[in-house]
Chain A
Amino acid sequence: MKARVLVVDDEFGMRETLVAILETAGYDVSQAGDGAAALATAQSQTFDVIVMDIRMPELTGVEVLASLTHPPPQIILMTAYALEEQLRIARDNDAFAIMEKPFQVPYLLSVVEQAAAAAAA
């Protein structure tokens, strides 16, 4: 059974490459282009892992994280420019990992794999 991953990023290039990389790695990948869409998708479907950018217009990744209730998926946050306050909220809401862009792909894959394993447990 493939783990279900939701990729959320307002940057098309990032979103598309991440989706491609994760599909290649064998995950069942969905995508959302902003925070509101991510929230709607995450509440209508079930995901094991959400890989989400923090800085997005209107609803940030951290706000989406704080709004998600049940069942809580494992959230991996990505940031190019995170504020300390956002990082604190992310940690308080049990984000699985916070990854600084740019990151090496193998590192991402290992983190996603760990998150999926944690979700399955």
Chain B
Amino acid sequence: MTIAITLTIAAISIIGAIATRHGTHNEERNLLDERASEIGLILTSSFSTLQTQLATTAAETKLNGANGKAFLAAADAIIQPQPGASTTLVKVHPSASTPTVRYVASTGTLPTETSGPRAQFLAHALSVEPPDVSSAVFAAGRLRQLAVAYPVGVRDLVVLRQLSIDPQAAGSATAQGQPFHELNVALYVGTKQDPSTLVLTTAGGAVPLTGSVATSTTPFGADDWLVAVKPTSPLVGAFAANAFWLVLGGGILIAIAIGALVETLARRRDYALTLVDERTEELRQSVEKLEEAQDQLLRQERLAAIGELASAVGHELRNPLGVITNAHYLLRSNLDATRDEAASRHLATAEREVGAATLIVSDLLDYSRAREPVMTTVQLADLVEEVRGVIPAPPGITVTTDLPTPSPTVRADRDQLRQVLLNLLSNSYEAMPEGGTITITAVPTGDSVELSVRDTGSGMDEDTARRVFEPFFTRKARGIGLGLAVTKRIVDGHGGTISVTSTPGAGAAFTVRLPAAHEPAPS
């Protein structure tokens, strides 16, 4: 994007610069053409004034061959005498092929030649109709001779004005502040920039003028003279002339500056966006943690409320259960005497159900009555055997123990650990209504011991495995789902961990990891 913006502005700058140069160039051209025309006009005006004066003088002096001297003196006064300049009155004998002339009188040395280029020029000058001034340049050694001929309108007489010129030195650049000071000028006799016809120049040896040159033809009598001008400095001014570079350079600088600015802003924006993303992520994580904590708090509060209720209900149920147990005992005593088998069977059912209710109440109270463990060193082999004796395996279930010798020992509250094993073992019994095998193992692993109870029962799915330690979570037809919650609470209280792995239909394995004991078990 930055590059695109920079390139666009640069391209606009280049187009603007080119347009500026085009405009400047046109303006320069127009100005130059104007200057050339002005110079031409000034020359034309001077020339026509001169012609008029010469014609008037010729008429006033009643010019003829005899008073040529007097005419010339008058003419010279008009043309203004100059060093190296001469005015001559010439009689022309026109001839189609080789015209000849006779020099009548002169303000300088009277020439002697009667034919040649000058004679041809003079014959041509005489033939101009209507009579007018003719001009030519002749070589004269290193110098030139500017010849101007004017037929005075009397017989075949022509006034020849000759001026020795050094074109290189004929003029010099006009001083600063004067008209046309900014121009180099070359004046030619004829319509071409022919160095041999150069009359004067301000350009020194640099003729013909090349490059940005404007020309203007100006009539000098019957002939056209050429004025060529070339500016020594831009006519539109240095500033305008350099406008192209100014626009181009300025545009590119602005393009680079804007590009840099855009790049800086883009980077700042990217940085800001990155910051915003990071903060948003942090915020999201904080919110997640907060929600999690809140959920946990709510769950704990709910469990605490349920626990309190369960505890109160459990305690209230203990009295009636006790009364029923007592009543069953009395009934049993009487029935044994009467040998009423049906009644005895029904009473057994009632006794069994009261037993189940009593267990539920015990679970409830165990859960609501968290007790700090009293740690001792517990020998696992003894404890496992004791628990197996307390709840013998139902028919169809085989329990095997696989403990190393000597038995691993752990730091634990013996009664609470006994409760843990009882819960896990009875849990496994219930998971195998069809029978199966339970394997109890204890493996020392460094600073801890892993006690596992593995069954070949129905197992559980992932969701159940994840929630199995939650209080009041149960998938059993009986029970209120506190056994494993109590188990986990006890293990947590020991600084241990409990986990379950299971494959649905292929059994489950509960593993309790407890800190290993460093002291021997009390005998």
The interface of chain A, by Cβ under 8 A from chain B, is 11, 13-14, 17-18, 20-21, 24, 78, 80-81, 100-105
A103 vs B323: C-alpha distance in the bound complex, in angstroms?
10
Known A14-B326, A17-B327; judge A24-B319 contact (CB<8 A).
no
Task: Assess whether A11 is in contact with B319, with CB atoms less than 8 Å apart.
Answer: yes
Measured CA separation A21–B329 after assembly (Å): 8
Nearest A residue to B330, CB-CB: A20
Cα A112 to Cα B22 with chains together (Å) = 129
Residue pair A14, B329 in contact (C-beta under 8 Å) = no
* Size bin of chain B's contact surface: 10 to 19
B327 contacts A102, C-beta separation under 8 Å = no
By a CB distance below 8 angstroms, the chain B residues around A18 are 326
**In the assembled complex, which residues on chain A have CB atoms less than 8 Å from the CB atom of B354?**
102
Q: Select which of A21, A102, A104 is within 8 A of B330 by beta carbon.
A: A21
Indicate whether A80 sits within 8 Å of B318 (C-beta atoms), given known contacts A11-B323, A13-B323, A14-B323: yes
- Kindly list 7 other residue pairs between chains A and B, CB separation below 8 angstroms, not including A13-B323, A13-B327: A14-B323, A17-B323, A20-B326, A78-B322, A101-B321, A105-B325, A105-B329
Q: Which residues of A contact B323 (CB under 8 A)?
A: 11, 13-14, 17
As a 0/1 sequence over residues 315 to 359 of chain B, the CB contacts with chain A under 8 angstroms (1 = contact) are 110111111111101100100000000000000000000100010
The chain B residues found within 8 Å of chain A, CB to CB, are 315-316, 318-327, 329-330, 333, 354, 358, 361
For A20, the chain B residues whose CB sits under 8 A away are 326, 330
24 A-B residue pairings within 8 Å (CB atoms): A11-B319, A11-B323, A13-B323, A14-B322, A14-B326, A17-B323, A17-B326, A17-B329, A20-B326, A20-B330, A21-B330, A78-B322, A80-B318, A80-B319, A100-B318, A101-B318, A101-B321, A102-B318, A102-B322, A102-B324, A102-B325, A103-B325, A105-B326, A105-B329
- For residue B318, which residue of chain A has the nearest CB? A80
With A20-B330, A21-B329, A21-B330 as known contacts, state yes or no: A102 contacts B358, CB within 8 Å.
Answer: yes
Q: In the bound complex, do residue A14 and residue B325 qualify as a contact, i.e. CB atoms below 8 Å apart? A: no
Q: How many inter-chain contacts with C-beta < 8 Å in the A-B complex? A: 49
Q: Nearest 9 pairs between A and B by C-beta?
A: A17-B326, A80-B318, A102-B322, A81-B315, A105-B329, A13-B323, A101-B322, A102-B321, A101-B318
Q: How far is the CB of A104 from chain B (nearest CB, A)?
A: 7
**Chain B CB within 10 A, most for which of A18, A21, A81, A101:** A101
Residues of B within 8 A of A17 (CB): 323, 326-327, 329-330
Question: Cβ of A24 and Cβ of B326 under 8 Å apart?
Answer: no
Determine the distance from Cα of A24 to Cα of B310 in the docked complex, in whole angstroms.
36
Q: Which of B324, B325, B333 contacts A104 (CB 8 A)?
A: B325
Name the residue on A nearest B311 (C-beta): A81
- Verify B326–A21 contact, CB threshold 8 A: yes
Compute how far the CA of A40 lies from the CA of B422 in the bound complex, rounded to whole angstroms: 46
B325 touches A80 (CB 8 A): no
A24 neighbours in B (Cβ, 8 Å): 330, 333
Q: Mostly helix, strand, loop or mixed at chain B's interface?
A: helix
Q: A57–B44 Cα gap in the complex (Å)?
A: 148
Complex interface: chain A residues within 8 A of B325 (CB) = 102-105
CA of A103 to CA of B321 in the docked complex: distance in angstroms?
9
Q: Which of B318, B320, B333 contacts A81 (CB 8 A)?
A: B318
Residues of A within 8 A of B326 (CB): 14, 17-18, 20-21, 105
Contact of A80 among B322, B330, B333 (CB under 8 A): B322
Chain A residues lying within 8 Å of B324, measured Cβ to Cβ, are: 102
Task: Write the nearest CB–CB distance from B419 to chain A, whole angstroms.
Answer: 15
Query: What's the minimum C-beta distance from A94 to chain B, rounded to whole angstroms?
Result: 24
- Cα-based distance from A80 to B329 in the complex (angstroms): 19
Counting chain A CB atoms within 10 Å of each CB, the highest count among B315, B324, B329, B354 belongs to B329
Cβ–Cβ < 8 Å partners of A105 in chain B: 325-326, 329
A14 vs B329: C-alpha distance in the bound complex, in angstroms? Answer: 12
Nearest Cβ distance between residue B332 and chain A, in whole angstroms? 9
Roughly how many angstroms separate A18 CA and B325 CA in the complex, as a whole number?
A: 11
Q: How far is the CA of A101 from the CA of B330 in the complex (A)?
A: 17
| Residues of the B chain whose Cβ atoms lie less than 8 Å from the Cβ of A81 | 315, 318
Bound Cα distance from A21 to B330, whole angstroms: 7
Residues of B within 8 A of A102 (CB): 318, 321-322, 324-325, 354, 358, 361
Cβ–Cβ < 8 Å partners of B319 in chain A: 11, 14, 80, 101
B-chain residues with CB within 8 Å of residue A104 when the two chains form the complex: 325
A107-B324 Cα distance, complex, nearest whole Å: 16
A11: which B residues are within 8 A, CB to CB? 319, 323
Per the bound structure, the CA–CA distance linking A112 and B96 in Å amounts to 181
In the assembled complex, the CB of A102 is this many whole angstroms from the nearest CB of chain B, namely 4
Chain B min CB distance to A46 (Å): 26
In the complex, the chain A residue whose C-beta lies closest to that of B312 is A81
- Interface contact A103-B330, CB-CB below 8 Å: no
Interfacial chain A residues near B322, Cβ < 8 Å = 14, 78, 80, 101-103
Q: How far is the CB of A17 from chain B (nearest CB, A)?
A: 3
Q: Could you tell me the distance in whole angstroms from the C-beta of B407 to the nearest C-beta in chain A?
A: 31
Point out the residues of chain B lying under 8 angstroms from A21, CB to CB.
326, 329-330
Q: How far is the CA of A11 from the CA of B315 in the complex (A)?
A: 14
- Report if A80-B327 is in contact (Cβ < 8 Å); known contacts: A101-B322, A102-B321, A103-B322: no
Minimum CB distance partner of B324 in chain A: A102
A49 to B61, CA, bound (A): 187
Q: Which residue of B lies closest to A10 (CB)?
A: B319
Q: Which residues of A contact B361 (CB under 8 A)?
A: 102
Closest Cβ neighbor of B329 among chain A residues: A105
With a CB–CB cut-off of 8 A, which chain A residues contact B316?
A: 80
List A contacts of B318 (CB < 8 A): 80-81, 100-102
Indicate if the CB atoms of A80 and B315 lie closer than 8 Å: yes
Closest Cβ of chain A: how far from B74's Cβ, in Å? 158
